[in-house]
Amino acid sequence: MAEAERIIGTPDIPESAGAEPEKSDGKAASDERSASGEPGAPDGSSAEADGTVGEAEQSRGRRRIAVLFAVAAFAYALDLVSKMIVVAKLEHHEPIEIIGEWLKFEAIRNAGAAFGFGEAFTVIFTVIAAAVIVVIIRLARKLYSLPWAVALGLLLGGALGNLTDRIFRSPGVFEGAVVDFIAPKGFAVFNLADSAIVCGGVLIVILSFRGLDPDGTVHKD
């Protein structure tokens, strides 16, 4: 009998000696990951959630950029078409009364800035308009606020509208006179691009006072 036990061998039973059973390699590795704070397989949902949030933010940013350029394209197209009609139908003709003497359509070539200011600085205003366009396009990469997208879109469309006149209209490149035609009584004559710039600027001032940044951050005093 003793010889048989020697040949077969006696199985190890750690429980009988009061010892803990050894953990499997997979269990030990899992415990080590938990102790060290490393994410294991069951915690993969948090990484997936972070990825989903990141994709949602990127999608939201792309939508805001799309709004910016859509507003800019609309403002630019409206300004361009209105100027083409004014040059073709109104220039060298009598003004058209819209609301009696209070509001008229009168074609005027303006070599200055918005509302006829600074006619001696046409080239400077052209450079400023180009710089504004570049700044807005660069800022669009960090844009996550819908109101800011609308405001910047108005500024971009208006700046592009007047810059087109500066480049392509007489007397020459970067010195072209802007076509103005909206003439309220007792006020300077302006165009739709000027209106878009003013509306965008006013909206930006309001957003700034409310503490809203272009990236969607809200600052509360």
Catalytic (active-site) positions? 180, 194
Round to whole Å and give the CA distance between 158 and 40: 54
Question: In angstroms, what is the C-alpha Rg of the chain?
Answer: 35
Distance of CA 94 to the CA centre of its chain: 43
Nearest to 95, CA basis, from 84, 108, 82? 108
Cβ-Cβ contacts under 8 Å for 47 (sequence gap 6 or more): 39
Residue at 31: amino acid letter: D
- Could you tell me where the beta strands, DSSP code E, fall in the chain? 96-99, 103-110, 178-184
Going across the sheet that includes 178-184, the strands are: 96-99, 103-110, 178-184
